Structure 1
Amino acid sequence: MGVVLSRVNNSCSAAFGEPVNTYQTVGICDREVNSSDSDHSSIIRIQNKVCEQGETLVPAFPETAFVERGYITPQQVYNLLNAEEGQPALYDPDYILILDCRSAERYKESHVVTARASVTVLHQDLGCLISCIALQKYSIILLYAEEGSSPVGSVKAKADSPDLQRCFFQLSRLGMDPVILLGGFSAFQALYPFLCTPRMVLLEAERHTLTIYPSEILEGALYQGSVSHASDYRIIKNLHITHVVNATSNCPDAFPNTLSYLRLCLSDNAQQDLLEALPLASRFINKALKAEPAGRVLVHCSLGRSRSSALTLAFLMEHQHWSLLHALRWLKERRACTAPNVNFLQQLLTYEEQLFGSRLTTLEDIRR
């Protein structure tokens, strides 16, 4: 397996705080090797650094911010809207019911994509305008006001967003289990303006015109997705991506003159060796996120399920100090289609042992 060298463009070098016109390792590929003497010296220096064994890591537990019961964060909503199981979940009109509990004027100005004005479902005087059977078909019912994070049912919550509180308890009495967007529309729009629109998008045919974004693994920092995500410049621009890990075997880097790439020619099969790829990807991601200013990284393979998941898990293990089990649980909560193949899981178990000095996870743990 050879290491590909590529000249880094000026903007990418500046993002890393490195001199312009220097060479950087950007990938692993059997078919492409730069054979100049100076490049070989770079390969030896970088490979030695990658293979150095330091002290073992101390395991840590993932920490999440406390969220009041009945609420869901903007990041969780972002990942729900962009979930992919088979086809993108957002294409399914029965997947999520989003009710905008603000005024009709504010709804018309802009709202979360696919949201409906709450009065079209839960009228203040007439009650529920659709049957309970129709409500029960939704996997998720999401409510939001303009702002708000007070505990559901509290005096402050009732004063801040009376229409939302009315909808919440009306749905609860009907046997539903609605959730409320923490911080309301204003918090979501501040983070994800590209998922807000003045258009009403309800029908399945209309939903299929929507852009599906990669999953957000670390908020405002690390994303995981498919080659179609990595090839859509609108997605790259909206998420402010600066660095990309390309784990496909035959898909070229989409924007080499604009972004900094780590190219890893990997196959999703039982023979693929990740020995070099895991530490290279982990350190490339960490360097990008620690840069001044901090970068944003997209890790992708063909479908964003197996190869990209293995590389993301390696980063979470090495630089978040999480066991493979904790890293995998974290990743699956944010990207439900995560599915590294068994060969990759076995190599990740070995990588976990190298990082922490002992096995913290078993395949049986993962399969439970």
Structure 2
Amino acid sequence: MVSTKRKIMKGAVRKMGEQQGRVNNSCRAASREPVNTSQTASSICDREVNSTNSDHSSIIPIGNKVCEPEEFLVPALPEIACVERGYITPQQVYNLLNAEEGQPALYDPYYILILDCRSAERWVLRRYKESHVVTARAAVTVIHPDLGCLISCIELQKYSIILLYAEEGCSPVGSVKAKADSPDLHRCFFQLSALGMDPIILLGGFSAFSALYPFLCTPRMVLLEPERHTLTIYPSEILEGALYQGSASHASDYRIIKNLHITHVVNATANCPEAFPNMLRYLRLRLTDDSQQDLVEALPLASRFINAALRTEPAGRVLVHCSMGRSRSSALTLAFLMEHRHWSLLHALRWLKERRACTAPNVNFLRQLLTYEEQLFGSRLTSLDDIRR
């Protein structure tokens, strides 16, 4: 029987596949600034990014508030893009592959079963051998066109997620076009469904995923747990191709920085140094993850630094990190989403948790974010009870 944890995971994936939030296609679009200070957001960020030694460990609050806005922001809701039932986007798959909870989820052999359904013909398996999504198996080794399922139903039930992909395609599951476009995937999907499984399909197929994330495609067959421990785990993608959140280890891995084309980094740790000061632009905020840490100036500084980076020409890519990528970095990411996407703390937190499930800002940070929400919007839109459920 599938464990409660795995049922929760399957439910979350179903919800994620049915309703996918999306961001504005252009991260460089102008956003309204909620405050009017003697220094604009651009001047603050210019000052920060031009000095890799910027250090705000000794921030002194000015009064009880960061500043007094001349006009408050108008709350907005994250835009929702409809995704056909049974499908999941490449960006969602990226975050599933890089999910962390204690340790990377991908290290668990039963976390996700990925089936490459580009063809059931064995002679066409050369495409699988040339390149496939990391940890994927050729579908013919699991669902044979004549013999049916080669893995017992009990074994299949151990997997939290079963993901299928063809070469391309996005037609509704079960439609004539879907069957014509990807007959092998179509057959696998309904065979697994008949066995009581709940498979999901990669929207756009391998071609869409490999175009965005070639570094998560490989000719290697990676199945066993020791092999999985050799995989590079990437930070979570919060805004597509723009904003990422992760740990100090992510920020010090050159392969990750290069593959994600990171240009700017917000370092929210107390002791971890900048790994690539001559290559990247940094905002250093020496924060501790405790009940005494004051974020009164750190929140707007990080928010405006991120916004300025995303609005550069060409648009930058930002990594926000703390030690584990859970509390301090989450607080700073949430501040940006509130100030520059005009989302309430509740909506921003839901968005973030859908993309980085281990998000967990401490209670002290949540209370300060509630105060920040009130400063931005002129009233409290979220309660502590709302976000602690």
Q: Tell me the residue number matched to 1:7.
A: none
Tell whether the 8 Å contact from 2:50 to 2:281 is kept in structure 1 after alignment. Answer: no
How far apart, in 1, do the equivalents of 2:233 and 2:52 lie? 32
Q: Please, which of 274, 293, 300 is the counterpart of residue 321 of structure 2?
A: 300
Q: Aligned in 2, Cα 1:132/1:22: closer, same or farther, shift over 3 Å?
A: closer
Which residues in structure 2 correspond to 1:128-277 (within 5 Å)?
128-277=149-298
Asked if residue 102 in structure 1 is aligned to residue 97 in structure 2, the reply is no
2:335 pairs with 1:314 = yes
Tell me which stretches of 4 or more aligned residues in structure 1 moved more than 2 Å.
Answer: 21-27, 50-54
Number of the residue aligned with 2:84: 68
> Following the alignment from structure 1 to structure 2, what is the Cα–Cα distance between the partners of residues 26 and 163?
55
Distance in 2, Cα, partners of 1:346 & 1:77: 32
Match of 1:30 among 55, 58, 63: 58
User: Which residues in structure 2 correspond to 1:79-98 (within 5 Å)?
Assistant: 79-98=95-114
CA drift at 1:54: 3.3
- The residue that corresponds to 1:118 in the other structure is 139
Instruction: Specify the code of the residue in structure 2 equivalent to 1:61.
Output: L
Aligned equivalents of 2:139 and 2:386: distance in 1? Answer: 43
Q: Following the alignment from structure 1 to structure 2, what is the Cα–Cα distance between the partners of residues 26 and 355?
A: 26
Post-superposition shift, 1:367? Answer: 1.9
Write the deviation string for residues 135-165 of structure 1: whole angstroms up to 9, x where unpaired: 0010000000000000001011000000000
1:200 aligns to what SS in structure 2?
coil
- In 1, Cα distance between the equivalents of 2:50 and 2:56? 18
* Mapped pair 1:354 → 2:367: no
Is the contact between residue 52 and residue 283 of structure 2 (CA under 8 Å) also seen in structure 1? no
The answer to whether the 8 Å contact 2:52/2:282 transfers is no
- Could you say which residue in structure 2 is the equivalent of 1:54? 70
Task: Sort the Cα spacing of 1:241 and 1:24 in 2 relative to 1 into closer, same or farther, 3 A.
Answer: closer
Cα shift at 1:29: 1.4
SS of 1:29's equivalent? coil
1:72 corresponds to which letter in structure 2?
I
Residue-by-residue CA offset, 1:174-219 (whole Å, 9 max, x unaligned): 0000000000000000000000000000000000000000000000
Whether the 8 Å CA contact 2:172–2:178 is kept in 1: the answer is yes
Report the CA distance shift for 1:25/1:257 in structure 2 as closer, same or farther (over 3 A). closer
CA contact (8 A) 2:264 2:319 kept: yes
Identity among equivalent pairs (%): 85
Once the two structures are TM-superposed, the CA of residue 87 in structure 1 deviates from its matched residue by 0.7
Shift of 1:80: 0.2
The aligned residue for residue 334 of structure 1 is 355
Q: Displacement of 1:52 after TM fit?
A: 5.6
User: Secondary structure at the residue paired with 2:81?
Assistant: coil
Task: Say if 2:109 and 2:225, in contact at 8 Å, map to a contact too.
Answer: yes
Q: How far off is 1:127 after superposition?
A: 0.3
CA distance in 1, matches of 2:355, 2:268: 20
Specify the SS of the correspondent of 1:223.
strand
Structure of greater relative contact order (alpha carbons < 8 Å, 6+ residues apart): 2
Letter in 1 for 2:267: N
Contact 2:264 2:316 (C-alpha < 8 Å) held by counterparts: yes
Alpha-carbon distance, 1:53 to partner: 2.4
1:55 is displaced (CA, Å) by 1.2
Give 5+ residue unaligned stretches, structure 2: 1-41, 120-124
Tell me if the contact between 2:236 and 2:356 (Cα under 8 Å) persists in the aligned partners. Answer: yes
SS of the counterpart of 1:53? Answer: coil
Query: In the aligned structure 2, how far is the partner of 1:108 from the partner of 1:334?
Result: 30
Instruction: Give the superposition deviation at 1:63.
Output: 1.1
Q: Distance in 2 between matches of 1:304 and 1:269?
A: 15
Partner of 1:47: none
- TM-score w.r.t. structure 2 length? 0.84
Matched position secondary structure for 1:216: strand
Alignment partners' CA distance in 1, 2:182 and 2:329: 41
